[in-house]
Structure 1
Amino acid sequence: MDKTLICVDCGNEFIFTEGEQEFYKEKGFENEPKRCPDCRRAKKQQNNRR
């Protein structure tokens, strides 16, 4: 079942789809994502610049 989560960066709601939840389980991730896809992408780009 899809879950609605709140992004810690922008405060917007985003959908954590069933497919994404399966992917996270396969990868062994324990926690749900804290950021929406847009903020996640922005953070990734920030980290790559260093």
Structure 2
Amino acid sequence: MEDKKLICRDCGDEFIFTEGEQEFYKEKGFENEPTRCADCRRAKKQQNNR
């Protein structure tokens, strides 16, 4: 497995989905890759907590 370059669906920036993150997703049983970069994920999470 190697790092993957993905595009954030919110800001359009490219971000790296590292091997470690991929392993974590696999361990948790997540089947989909992240669609947002870390900053946009954090912002979305904060927005949902209001």
Structure with greater helix share of residues: 1
Correspondence 1:37 to 2:38: yes
Number of equivalenced pairs: 49
Identity among equivalent positions (%) equals 88
Partner residue, 2:10:
9
TM-score by length of 1: 0.97
Q: Which runs of 5+ in 1 are unaligned?
A: none
Q: Which runs of 5+ in 2 are unaligned?
A: none
Show CA shifts across 1:1-49 (max 9, x none): 0000000000000000000000000000000000000000000000001
Partner residue, 2:28:
27
Distance in structure 2 (CA, Å) of the matches to 1:4 and 1:33: 11
TM-score by length of 2: 0.97
Query: Deviating runs (4+, > 3 A) in structure 1?
Result: none
Q: Partner letter of residue 9 of structure 2? A: V
